């Protein structure tokens, strides 16, 4: 199986580390969408690499969701994975990938440096947004995906067939990743498989 990876980018200095973590023999395309919504400029690093598509998107939103939507325009089919520019691929993901089915929706646990306030349930809400985005946990938290809900599923915790993506990300909603995955899951829960192990990192490069 080969997948398409979409990365919304405001941290180009991290891209070489993301690149090193990707096993390109399992990748159709790595689509990098640079966020120019605030007038930023970037040097495109990978113009000569046939595995990589680079583009720019001026649309505004939070957490790069507008850029992720733009990246979906380049997808031809197959499986889609969203990799943020503040983390890298988990090696266990590549070990698991050959055993997966292209018609199944997958979700798994994540080792994340997402800041979770004390006495929190481990989920995050709109109220927590500013605090969560400004701080990094000193030690990683285990984010579980055994219960599918918009507050428990984060970017990097799922792999989905492109044909099942029935709504775009909502650009200005922090929980948009969870909302998108939940909408796909609720269409047909029988097509979803929970893998009870850590296959992704979160905010490792913050």
Each residue's pLDDT tens digit, 12-52: 999 999 999 999 999 999 999 999 999 999 999 999 999 99
More confident residue, 108 or 116: 108
pLDDT of residue 166: 85
Average pLDDT taken over every residue of the chain: 90
Mean pLDDT to the nearest integer, 44-70: 96
Question: What percent of the chain has a predicted confidence (pLDDT) above 90?
Answer: 78
List the structure tokens of 50.
Answer: 């046939």
pLDDT band at 115 (very low <50, low <70, confident <90, very high): low
Domain 3-202 of CATH type 3.90.550.10 = yes
CA separation for the pair 76, 192 (Å, rounded): 22
pLDDT band at 117 (very low <50, low <70, confident <90, very high): low
SS (HEC) of the chain: CCEEEEEEECCHHHHHHHHHHCCHHHEEEEEEEEECCCCCCCCCCCCCCCCEEEEEECCCCCCCHHHHHHHHCCCCCCEEEECCCCCCECHHHHHHHHHCCCCCEEEEEEEEEECCCCCCCCCCCHHHHHHHHHCEEEEEEEECCCCCCCCCCCCCCEEEEHHHCCCCCCCCCCCHHHHHHHHHHHHCHHHEEEEEEEEEEECCCC
pLDDT greater than 60 at residue 144: yes
pLDDT greater than 60 at residue 130: no
Model pLDDT for residues 174-206, shown as the tens digit of each residue: 899 999 999 999 999 999 999 999 999 998 887
pLDDT of residue 127: 41
The domain spans of the chain are 3-202
pLDDT of residue 206: 74
């Amino acid at each position: 199986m080969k997948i398409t990876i979409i990365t919304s980018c405001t941290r180009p200095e991290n891209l070489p580390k993301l690149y090193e973590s990707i096993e390109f023999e399992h990748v159709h395309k790595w689509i990098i969408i640079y966020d120019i919504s605030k007038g930023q400029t970037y040097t495109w690093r990978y113009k000569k690499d046939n595995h990589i598509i680079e583009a720019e998107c001026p649309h505004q939103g939070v957490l790069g969701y507008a850029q992720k939507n733009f990246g979906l325009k380049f997808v031809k089919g197959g499986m889609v994975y969203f990799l943020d520019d503040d983390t890298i691929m988990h090696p266990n993901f590549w070990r698991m990938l050959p055993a997966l089915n292209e018609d199944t929706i997958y979700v798994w646990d994540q080792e994340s440096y997402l800041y979770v306030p004390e006495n929190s349930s481990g989920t995050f809400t709109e109220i927590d947004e500013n605090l969560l985005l400004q701080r990094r946990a000193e030690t990683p938290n285990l984010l579980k995906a055994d219960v599918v809900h918009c507050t428990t599923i984060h970017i990097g915790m799922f792999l989905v067939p492109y044909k099942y993506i029935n709504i775009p990300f909502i650009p200005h909603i922090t929980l948009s990743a969870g909302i998108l995955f939940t909408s796909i899951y609720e269409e047909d829960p029988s097509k979803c498989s929970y893998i009870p192990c850590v296959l992704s990192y979160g905010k490792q490069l913050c």
